[in-house]
Amino acid sequence: MSNRQVLIGLVAQHNNDHPNHFFLARAYSQAIINAGGIPLIIPHQPPKQLASLLSQVRGVVLTGGVDVDPQRYGEEPHPGCGEISPLRDELDFAVADWALRHDLPLLAICRGIQVLNVALGGTLFQDIPAQVAGALKHRQQAPGWYGTHEVQLEPATLLSSICGGSLKVNSLHHQAIKRLGTGLRLAATASDGVIEAVESAEHRFAVGVQWHPELMEEHCPAARELFRKFVEAAAAD
């Protein structure tokens, strides 16, 4: 099957400032188009309809957004925990569960890597500056396309085969993985020890990155290659 025929589901974003809107930043859909896929926005909907929609896509992207509700991983909210959206959590965790159960190629970005981790029983740092001693600045004030710190990729991982041994990435988050979820392996870290990428050895393509490759693809070949390999995996039978 040609990549041009590959339908990719992108989970819609939602926040409390606009409770009646589900939306998607254009960079996500453009990155899928550039990689040869066909983007389809997935809004919140009843489980039966969601299952029907997911049965038609060949891969899914968990996009960035507000914080994951700490109740999802058994914690009370830290003072540094930010905005949460119960509707967004419900949608994201349903999509992640479907993708993992059906071995559907999954690319999890920023909030998405955190959802993936929690879906598999992991936990999060609710606020990096307050909970990680000696942490780098992970919420940059530089343009989104600009890489502000390096990550080291673990050898012999799918991600390192795509992106190489090290990479300078953008950084637009204040939460991060604390305890890895079941079945996930470390794929990249920042110099302060913050986990920057994970992947599943139990699925054909389930990769989570803490940075935003969709904002970097015009300037970073590794970001473009990540989307290309994801769509390629989705196209495979």
b/e string for 77-87 if b means 16 or more Cβ within 10 A?
A: ebeebeebbee
For the chain, what is the radius of gyration of the CA atoms?
Answer: 16
pLDDT of 63 over the 90 cut:
yes
What confidence tens digit (pLDDT) does each residue in 90-114 have? 999 999 999 999 999 999 999 999 9
pTM (2 d.p.): 0.96
Instruction: Using pLDDT thresholds of 50, 70 and 90, give the confidence band for residue 1.
Output: very low
What confidence tens digit (pLDDT) does each residue in 67-78 have? 999 999 999 999
In terms of DSSP H, where are the helices of 25-183? Answer: 26-34, 47-54, 86-101, 111-119, 128-131, 158-163
Active site residue 81: no
Give the chain's length: 237
In the chain, what is the straight-line distance between the N-terminal and C-terminal CA atoms, in Å?
8
3-class SS of residue 203: coil
Total domains in the chain come to 1
Domain carrying residue 85: 3-235
Task: Please pick, among 110, 149, 163, 225, the residue that the annotation labels catalytic.
Answer: 110
Active site residue 163: no
Mean pLDDT within 56-72: 98
Q: CATH number, domain at 60?
A: 3.40.50.880
**Residue 30: count of CB within 10 angstroms of its CB:** 15
Active site residue 214: yes
Q: Please give the distance of CA 104 from its chain centroid, rounded to a whole number.
A: 14
Distance CA 89, CA 23 (A): 15
Task: Please pick, among 212, 217, 225, 232, the residue that the annotation labels catalytic.
Answer: 212
